Amino acid sequence: MKRVFLFLVLLSLLASPLWAATVTQTQQSGTQDTWHNGASTLASNSLVLSNAVTLTNPGHLYAWCTLTVPMSAAPAANSAVLAWFRVSTDGGTTYPDSAAQPASSPDMTFPLLAVSGTQVVTFRVDRMPVGFFKVYIKNDNTGATINTTWSLKCRTHTLTIN
């Protein structure tokens, strides 16, 4: 019985390298692009549509986005800046209607702290749009105005597992 047990232990130790597969993980990072520069103020519950976003390094799967917002006063508790992708299906000529807030859930939510001053908030986009797109941004129920010189900047990434 001891010999059988010893044999099985030795066999499992010898065979384990055959079972283990080498997994490599590579992250490719794109350039940080400015998706929107707010040259004017954005009042609470107001929306703005960015220009068409031109990615320096297209083809990545996700992105880390940074929203920098100088607030005129402390935003209301549990408020946020929301953003939606407005994707063109015809190569950048036509975009979905942007006259009102989209009926879909936002693609990005930047929760704000109830403190005055400039806030820097990050968000990871798990699924980048394909092709040409714009970003629709809403100052959602903050009760405060976003002052000028605010921005949304994003760096695209791809994670490859072999």
Evaluate if residue 15 carries a pLDDT over 90: no
User: What does the block give as tokens for 115?
Assistant: 């403190």
CATH number at residue 106: 2.60.120.260
Model pLDDT, residue 141: 94
User: Is 104 inside a domain boundary?
Assistant: yes
Q: Tally the domains of the chain.
A: 1
CA quadruple 51, 52, 57, 58: dihedral positive or negative? Answer: positive
Cα separation, 32 vs 131, whole angstroms: 17
How many CB atoms within 10 Å of residue 24? 7
pTM: 0.80
Distance (Å, rounded) from C-alpha 150 to C-alpha 25? 35
Chain-centre distance for alpha carbon 45: 21
- 155 is written with which tokens? 């760096």
Task: Determine how β-strand 62-71 pairs with β-strand 150-161.
Answer: antiparallel
Within a domain: 61 = yes
**In terms of Cα–Cα distance, which of 41, 18, 66 is closest to 149?**
41
d(CA 5, CA 3): 5
Q: Is the pLDDT of residue 11 over 60?
A: no
User: Is 141 inside a domain boundary?
Assistant: yes
pLDDT tens readout for residues 104-139: 999 999 999 999 999 999 999 998 998 899 999 999
Q: How far apart are CA 21 and CA 162, in angstroms?
A: 10
Does a structural domain hold residue 13?
A: no
Residue 155, domain extent: 25-161
Question: Is residue 124 assigned to a domain?
Answer: yes
Please indicate, yes or no, if residue 17 is contained in any of the structural domains.
no
- The answer to whether residue 2 sits within a structural domain is no
